[in-house]
Amino acid sequence: MLKMAGNKSYTIVEYFGGDSGYRCGYCKNDEGNFSHGMWSHTMTVQDYQDLIDRGWRRSGKYVYKPKLNKTCCPQYTIRCHAPKFQPSKSHKKVLKKMSKFISNGELPKEQDGGQPMDSVCDEARPREPSSVCPSEVKRAAITDIQKELPECPAITEVQKEVADVAPADSKTSRKAPESVADERTTAAGPKPGMGADPGRPACRKARDLRKERRLQKEQIRQHADGDSSIVCPTPPTPALTKQPKPLEDFISGSMPDNSSHCLEVRLVRSSPPSPQFKASFDASYQVYKLYQMAIHKDPPDKPSESQFRRFLCDSPLEAEHSPDGPEVGYGSFHQQYWLDGRIVAVGVIDILPACVSSVYLYYHPDFASLSLGSYSALREIAFTRQLQKQSPKLSYYYLGFYIHSCPKMRYKGQYRPSDLLCPETFAWVPIEQCVLQLENTRYARFNQDPDAGDARVLKDVGRALVLYRRAVMPYAAYSRKGKGSSDELEVQQYADLVGQDCAEKILLYRA
C-alpha cells in the first residue's frame, strides 16, 4: 500500500468501464449482465466500506458494480441489522438440525442444501481478472476479464411460516349439535362445569398459573393480620410477555456437552495470510475443490489452486487495527468450520468499520443436508453481534446482493430487519417497502423522496486523485500536463460511480 507523509495509506485502482454484456448466472442470458469493474492493487477498509455503500462488491481483487438499470437481473446491495435480528422458524429449524446432528451424530436424510449464501451460487459475479499484469488486463475486452459463471444449483424454496395450531381434542370432536352454540361464547369466559378448572381462562401455560397461585397465596398471608374469614382475591395478573430466545442461545445449543461430534469455528486471517491460515490452506482448498465439482459440476482441473487463491484468498484489503475497533482487527478472513478435527465448511468474510461482509461460502458435499449456507449466515450474524459489543458502529451484516427477479435468490430478504440500497440516492430503505416496488418492476428507485439525490454526487472531476509516475496529484494537475484530454470521459464516469468523497481519497492509476 502506498504511504505518503504522515503515514497516510492510499487505495490504488485501475478502472475498466463495463460496456460489454456477459452471461447471467440467474436467467442464463448470454449477454444480459452488465457491470462496471476496477482492479484494486490495494485498498483501505474504510474505502471499501464506502464503495459497498455505493453498490460495489469485490471478487478477489476485482471490484465490480452492476448496472442495475441495464442488467437483466438487477442485484441490490442488502444489509441486515445484526443486533435486532431474530431467527425465523426456518432459521430455528436449521439450528436445531445442526444441534441434533452434533448430539446424536446422524446426518439428516433429506439432501436439501438449504439457503446458499452469496457466492454459493457465485452471485452471477463477473469473471475474475487473470493473473496477468493489470495494465494488460485493462487493454483486454471486458469478456476476457471476467471468469465464466458456474451454473447455480437448485435452491429449495423456504417454507412459509405458519402459526401454531392446537390439535383438536378427540373427546370434543363428536359434540352434540347444541354444544356448538356454547363454543361461540367461550371467548367471553369459561362456562361453569367445563374444563379442569372453570375458574381460570383457557389456553394458559402451567408455569403462568403456578406464578399466579404463588402470588395469591402471598397476598393471603399479607392479609392474615386482618379478617382472615374474608379473602379478597385479586384479579388474575396478565401473563408476562415472553421474551424471544436470542440467536446465541440456539447456536450454543448446537454444541452440547457429551455430544457425538465436536464443532469448532476458527477465524483465521487470509490476507496477509496468518500462520494458522497457511497451516490449513491445503485442507481448505480440498474442500473447495470438492464443493465446486459436486455443486457447480466443475471438471477436476477447473478449481485449480491458483484459481482458489485469486478468487478467495487474495484480497486488496490491508490488515488494519484501531483502538476503538474489534480485537481481531479489520480486513479479510476465513471462518473455518472444524468438525471432529477436519474442515467441513469455510465462510469467506471481510470485517469492515461498519459491517461484516459475506464474500463466499463453500462446504464439503457430504454435509449438504445440514443446510450449511443458512447455518453459516446465522453464525456470521452472531459473530457480527459479538464484534458490535467491541466496536459499537460495527452493527451490520452485508449479505451481498439481493436479486428479486430471481425467485430462488430472494431468501436473503428473510434475514430481517434488513435494508436495500437505493441505486440512485444510495440511501438505505427497509426491504418491506422495496419488495412492493420490485413486484411491479425489476429496476426501482427505493427512495420515495422525489427531491432526494446522491449526497456524494461528483461536483468537480478535477479534484479526483490520480497516481501518475508514482506521484499523487489531482486530475486537474494531471490534465495540465497534457495527459488528460484523451481519458476525461473515462475519469468522469469512474468518479461518478465512486462518488466525490471516494474520488478524492482513492488513487486512480494512470499509465
pLDDT in tens, 299-309: 999 999 999 99
**pLDDT higher than threshold 50 for residue 190:** no
Domain assignment present for residue 409? The answer is yes
Domain assignment present for residue 54? The answer is yes
Mean predicted confidence (pLDDT) in 317-335? 97
Q: Which of 98-102, 191-195, 332-336 is the least confident region?
A: 191-195
Residue 239 confidence (pLDDT): 56
Domain assignment present for residue 178? The answer is no
What is the edge-to-edge ordering of all strands in the sheet holding 12-17? 57-59, 62-66, 35-42, 12-17, 507-510, 465-468, 471-474
Whole-number average pLDDT of the chain: 82
Residue with cell 448470454: 30
- Given pLDDT bands bounded at 50, 70 and 90, which one contains residue 120? very low
- Given pLDDT bands bounded at 50, 70 and 90, which one contains residue 159? very low
Are 113 and 482 spatial neighbours (Cβ–Cβ below 8 Å)? Answer: no
Q: Distance between CA atoms of 415 and 82, rounded to whole angstroms? A: 9
Residue 237 confidence (pLDDT): 53
**pLDDT higher than threshold 70 for residue 224:** no
Residue 115 confidence (pLDDT): 56
Domain assignment present for residue 131? The answer is yes
Q: Is 493 left (phi over 0), alpha (psi -120 to 50) or beta?
A: alpha
Name the packing angle between helices 488-503 and 45-52 (round to 10°): 110
Q: What is the pLDDT of residues 472-503, one digit of tens each?
A: 999 999 999 876 668 999 999 999 999 999 99
Residue 160 confidence (pLDDT): 32
Domain assignment present for residue 41? The answer is yes
- For the chain, percent of residues with pLDDT exceeding 70: 74
Q: What is the pLDDT of residues 439-467, one digit of tens each?
A: 999 999 999 999 999 999 999 999 999 99
Domain assignment present for residue 407? The answer is yes
**pLDDT higher than threshold 50 for residue 220:** yes
**pLDDT higher than threshold 60 for residue 274:** yes
- Given pLDDT bands bounded at 50, 70 and 90, which one contains residue 130? very low
- For the chain, percent of residues with pLDDT exceeding 90: 67
Domain coverage including residue 307: 5-155+248-455
Q: What is the pLDDT of residues 66-91, one digit of tens each?
A: 999 999 999 999 999 999 999 999 99
Neighbours of 425 (CB within 10 A): 17
Give the SS3 label for residue 142: helix
Domain count along the chain: 1
Mean predicted confidence (pLDDT) in 361-385? 98
Residue 229 confidence (pLDDT): 38
Residue 482 confidence (pLDDT): 79
**pLDDT higher than threshold 70 for residue 188:** no
Residue 410 confidence (pLDDT): 95
Q: Distance between CA atoms of 159 and 141, rounded to whole angstroms? A: 43
Q: What is the pLDDT of residues 423-434, one digit of tens each?
A: 999 999 999 999
Residue 38 confidence (pLDDT): 98
Domain assignment present for residue 280? The answer is yes
Mean predicted confidence (pLDDT) in 138-157? 33
Q: What is the pLDDT of residues 165-184, one digit of tens each?
A: 233 333 333 333 333 333 33
What are the residues whose beta carbons fall under 8 Å from the beta carbon of 451, sequence distance 6 or more?
none
Domain assignment present for residue 494? The answer is no
Residue 141 confidence (pLDDT): 32
